[in-house]
Structures are given as structure tokens and as C-alpha cells.
Structure 1
Amino acid sequence: MQLIKKFLLSLTVFAVLLFSANAQQTSTSKKNALKEGSLEEQFEYISRISSNYKAQGKRYEVINLLYYEMIRSNVLDSILALEKQIDEAKSTIDIQKIDNIALQTQLKNTKSTLEITNAQKDKISLFGIQLSKGFYNVILWSIIGVLTFLLLFFIYKFKNSNALTKAAKKSLEEIEIEFEEHRRIALEREQKVRRQLQDEINKQKTNNKANNK
């Protein structure tokens, strides 16, 4: 009989220890579920393990205060995390707005610089006077045309003058030849006349001598 009592006592102690360990493991599992799961999973878990009762036609859920505090803390942490994410998103949006304003300002400055550059590119300074490229080209080609005309005119005049010079030189040579020929003929005539005159003088002298005898 005493042996049976000891056996029952041992069995009772073992059952109590087993139940305590199981309860502790279940409590730890519940705490892990409330710590690691998402909010939706945590609420589902609380709804699943909570007890309920009806009073006056209404249903009430009974939640363990410890679990309530844990899920409340988790909800507040999630809200704080979301608020932090929202603040960071707002800061990012503000920074992007500032960057967009800076980019728009830079774009306007670039467009203004490009317009000024194009305006300067389409104009050319001539003796300190800003002229459009088209008008400058008209002036430039007009000057080139006038200079080309003058060059051709001077070439024509030079060739014409050269031809006249050659003709005058040829005429002068012909005149010199004629003059030399005329001088030669005149010299021959003069010499002939002198010889005739000398002959007459000699003849007169001979006649005079003959008469004197």
C-alpha cells in the first residue's frame, strides 16, 4: 500500500513538472510569436488564444494583460517606425524639390547662356560695330567683288599698256631705222655735193692757171 502511494506521488510530481515545462514552453512560444510575427499575425494570434464570453447578448474577448501590453508596444513601435519612414520620405521629397528648383534654375541659366552664345555667333564685330552675319557676308562679298573687278581692270590696263608700249617701241625702232637711213642718204648726198664742189673748185683752178699762161 505504501509502495502504491509513493508511485502515485512520483507520478503526480512528474505530471506537475511536465505540465509546468509545457506551460513555460507555450508561454515562451507565445512571446516569440508576439515578438517575431507581423502585426496582422500578432492580432490573429491574440484572437486565437483569447477567451470570450457573452453577456447581455454581446460577445466579449478576454485578452491576457501581458500580451496586450506586448502587442500595444509592438503597434506603437510600428507606428513610430512608419512615422520615421514618413519623415524620411518627406525629407527626401523636400530635397528632391530643392534639387528640382536648382536644376530648373540651372536649365534657365543654360538656355540664357545658349541664347546669348547663338546671338553672338550670329553677329560679327567689324571695326567695333556689331553686324549680323548675313549683312557681314554681303559686305565681304561686295568688297571681294570690287577688288576682283579692280584687279581685272588693272590687268586689262596693264596688258593694253604693255601692248601700246610694244607698239610705240616698235614705231620708235622703225623711226630710228628710217632716221638712220635718211641720215645715211643725206650724208651720201652731202659727200657727193662736196665732191662735186671740190671738182668744180679744182676745175676752176685748172682753168685759171691755163688762162694765166
Structure 2
Amino acid sequence: MNKTIFLALIAFSFFISTSHAQEVSEETGSLNSGTISSQFDYLNKISNNFQEYKVVKKTNLDKIKSNVLDSLSVFEKDLQAVQQTVKDQQEKINQLESQVAGTQSELEEALEARDSFFFLGIPIHKNLYNTIMWTIVAGLLGAFLFFLYQFSRSHKVIKQARKNLEETVEEFEQHRKNTLDRERKLKRELVDALNGKSS
């Protein structure tokens, strides 16, 4: 795009200078100044006519040839300068593109480094790490709730077993008392029976 603008500016300035020189040469006319076109017009004007031909002086023809070659030389130099400028700008563009590519690569590496880290020598992305950590936390919470449930259930079972044991102990004590009472009663009866026989 810079090349196009630069060439357009050169063409525009050349056109302005040509039209301005043409206006000047049309008034005065000369082979020593003005544009090539105005010089050819002037040459045509000052040349003699012979039948349907124009007779041009050799000196005038040599002069206009020299002027054309000089103009071509100037244009070639301008063109070389433009080409060199375009070449320099293309090199700068290539350097900038290379720098942009390097910067983009560094940015991607920085983003990757920001979003990941090494865990036990293994590179892990932060999202994966968060997923693993939350999975472990959820697993530990599930295990805690399971053991809490098991503990509560075991506590109820133990409480019921203690209650049953206490009831069994009470029944056993009651049964023992009843048995002791029966033994005493039997011993009394036995003692009474033995006393009754001896008397």
C-alpha cells in the first residue's frame, strides 16, 4: 500500500510539473526547457515543411534526443530510488512481521505458563488441577459422610445392645432373686419338715 501511495505521489508531481512546464513552453517555446512533449511541439513548429514531410535540423534532433535520454536517465534514477525505498520498506515489514510472530509466540508461552504449573515434575494445566483437587475434596467429603453415617448407625446399634444387655441383666437379677427366694423357701420347708419329723 505504501508503494502505491508513493508511486501515485511521484506520478502526480510529475503531472503537475509537466502541465506547468507545458503552459510556460507554449508561451515561449524552447528545446532547452519545458517538458519533452512541449519540446517536440516546439520542434514541430520550427521545422520546415517539405511536401508532406517535416524537415528537422540535425542539431535540433540531436538536442531533443539528448533531452529525452536525460529525462529517461532521471526517471530511471527516480525509479531506482523508489525501488530501493520499496525494498527497504519490505525489509522493515519483514522484520516487524518477524517481531510480531516472536511476540505472539512469547505471549502464547506466557499464557501457557500462567495457566499451568509443574506438580511432581509433571506439567499440569490449572483447570485440570482444579478438577482433580475438587474431585479429591468431593471424594473425601463423601467418605467422611459415609463414615459419619456408619458411626451413627453403629452408635445406635451399640446403644440398643446396651439397652438389651441392661434389660437382660435386670431379667437375670430378677430371675436370680426369684431363684434365691425359692431356694430359701425350699430350705425353710425342708427345715420345717425335718423339725417336724424329729419332734
TM-score, structure 2 as length reference:
0.49
State the structure with more CA Rg. Answer: 1
TM-score, structure 1 as length reference:
0.47
